[in-house]
Amino acid sequence: MTVGIVGAGTAGLQLGLRLQQHGVEPTLYAERTPEEIRAGRLPNTVAHHHRTRARERALGVNHWDGSGPSYGRHDHYVEGPQPLAFPGDFSAPSLAVDYRLYLPRLLEDFEERGGRVVTGSISVDEIDRLGERHELVVVATGRGGFGDLFPRVAGRGTDGPQRVLAAGLWTGVAYRDPVSVTFCVVPGSGEILELPIETFEGHATTLLFECIPGGELEALARTSWQDDPKAYEALVLDRLERFCPPLFERVDRSSFGLTSPTSFLQGSVTGAVRESFARLDRGGMAIALGDAHCVVDPVVGQGANAASFGAWELGEEILAGGPFDDAFCRRVDERRLPYLLGLDSWTRFMLSPEPQLFQLIGAMSQNKALADDFTDNFNRPDLQWEHLASPEATAAYIASFP
């Protein structure tokens, strides 16, 4: 069988490596070379949870298992007149690696194992040509208008961005013991996330500011770091001191700063769920994967994990054999849509929470087993959403942890 994969992010690479393991030799269409990716700007801030890491071990690409700053805990902090602070533990650790390290290494793995890579830009207009070359075309990137091949699903995603974002890789932030993520909720202003990460410079810290427009955090997404780095650092420290004191207390001002000028990004994300497949004009099917299929705000850090999950499920159906027709695409939907739709619903809920979220937060602050289960369900967005979908569902979830 012949499969063409457009896009060399998490989804495209893991799908290519999975097919390669089983004797299928896909062609991977990558926009950039490994060297170009390494030399680029910080593309995102992501962590891989333990189910994604298990897939990486199965693929033989778990290169950072022994060196990266893995973590097994979320430290929750809710800012207010009477702040709440409580931990939640994973059943197995997560890990974050700078994607300028991660993506090039997996692309090189694919090539070293005999994979065919075609490097360079491909336009949307060329998809029909690829359909003539391959029995199945997988579109694993939303860049360059590729997402527009697949219509948006009504009632899913968001009408424009719900947060404006600022993220960077920073030195001078001491890790907790045990190493953990800080998830800080600032009601009315947004969220602050601290994440240990492996970088070119070694272990560092991601700070992600999810800023509600008009709120106290918004200046972080609107102010240029490059115009005055010291002034921007002072702005970050001010917001940490005011809204997340447990994190601020671990900052060493003398060494606090970005790891490099390219390790900083600002922007926003508009959530979208798109139809999962399209028939090409000259015959054959294109199937959406990764950002071409589902895009969510990074507030719950799920984009890369969803991409990995979707790639694995699609890979299993490809390995089961064709024909790659409408029935094949619907079988793929049956495998992956419950997870992805749950993720979309959960993310939108977290951006505009209903009262049951704060009921759950209050209960978690008093019940460690409940907090642990909520934390571990970052591996199961579909299940997480089931627990939050209504006040009754949340009450039943809380009651299941006496």
pLDDT in tens, 117-149: 999 999 988 998 999 999 999 999 998 888 889
Each residue's pLDDT tens digit, 342-368: 999 999 999 999 999 999 999 999 999
Mean of pLDDT over the chain: 96
| Averaged pLDDT for residues 48-61 | 98
What does residue 184 show for φ and ψ, rounded to 5 degrees? Answer: -110, 125
Per-residue confidence (pLDDT) for residue 148, from 0 to 100? 86
d(CA 209, CA 163): 9
Which carries the bigger pLDDT value, residue 271 or residue 125? 271
pLDDT per position as a tens digit, 186-204: 999 999 999 999 999 999 9
Percent of the chain with pLDDT over 70: 100
pLDDT higher than threshold 90 for residue 322: no
Q: Residue 282 pLDDT > 80, yes or no?
A: no
pTM for this entry: 0.96
What architecture (CATH level 2) is domain 164-268? 2-Layer Sandwich (3.30)
- In the chain, CATH 3.30.9.40 covers 164-268
Chain-centroid distance, C-alpha 299: 9
Q: Does domain 3-31+120-159+270-350 have CATH number 3.50.50.60?
A: yes
Please report the pLDDT score of residue 1 as a whole number: 78
Output the pLDDT for position 211: 98
Alpha carbon distance 61, 44 (integer Å): 20
Give residue 39's pLDDT band: very low, low, confident or very high (50, 70, 90). very high
User: How far is residue 347's CA from residue 381's CA, in Å, rounded to a whole number?
Assistant: 9
Length of the chain: 402
Residues of the chain with CATH 3.50.50.60: 3-31+120-159+270-350
Contact 343, 377 (CB under 8 A): no
Give the model's pLDDT for residue 281: 82
Indicate whether 397 pLDDT > 90. Answer: yes
Q: Which of 343, 243, 355, 361 is nearest to 298 (CA)?
A: 343
**Spatial separation of the C-alpha atoms in residues 55 and 57, rounded to whole Å:** 5
> Are the C-beta atoms of 196 and 203 separated by less than 8 Å?
yes
